[in-house]
Amino acid sequence: MTAVTVCAILWLTLAPKPLPDSDVRLFEGADKLVHACMFGGLYFVLSLDRRLFHGRGAMPRGKFVPALLALVCIVFGGAIELIQGAMEMGRGCDVWDFVADTAGVLLAVAVTPAVLRRIAGQ
């Protein structure tokens, strides 16, 4: 699931025009909410995949892993913003997008453990 999510984020953030034009008017700042959902979702699927494959030794054990996963997601968001600024294809580096990415990850860090426990029926 993580690979699919990463590919979707890369497409949505780096393609010059990833979605068709629409007449639907969104509220101001809707793109920031989308950024928060994308990167919070990335943290969630990384955590879910970690839980699914944990018993097979695919991911290291320890309490530092959630922090490491969060850091990876935040760095990925920052790297995408820098790449957007360097591409010169109509997409720009936006510090507020990065703030939204980070906020989404931090919210996911807080919510994901409870969601995963609920999914597992614990």
pLDDT, averaged per 10 consecutive residues of the chain (122 residues), comes to 95 86 81 96 95 63 85 97 87 92 98 90 69
Q: Which amino acid is at 99?
A: V
Asked if residue 17 belongs to a domain, the reply is no
Q: How far apart are CA 42 and CA 70, in angstroms?
A: 9
Q: Can you give the pLDDT at residue 112?
A: 94
Asked if residue 90 belongs to a domain, the reply is yes
Q: Can you give the pLDDT at residue 27?
A: 85
Q: Can you give the pLDDT at residue 115?
A: 93
Q: How far apart are CA 106 and CA 26, in angstroms?
A: 24
Supply the DSSP symbol for 24: P
The pTM is what? Answer: 0.87
Asked if residue 107 belongs to a domain, the reply is yes
Tallying the residues shown for the chain, one arrives at 122
Q: Can you give the pLDDT at residue 122?
A: 61
Q: Can you give the pLDDT at residue 117?
A: 87
Q: Can you give the pLDDT at residue 61?
A: 62
Domain carrying residue 76: 2-12+29-120
Please name which of 113, 111, 101 lies closest in space to residue 38, comparing C-alpha atoms.
101
Domain count, the chain: 1
| Sequence-ordered strand ranges (E) for 1-122 | none
Q: Can you give the pLDDT at residue 60?
A: 56
Asked if residue 20 belongs to a domain, the reply is no
Q: How far apart are CA 35 and CA 37, in angstroms?
A: 5
Asked if residue 24 belongs to a domain, the reply is no
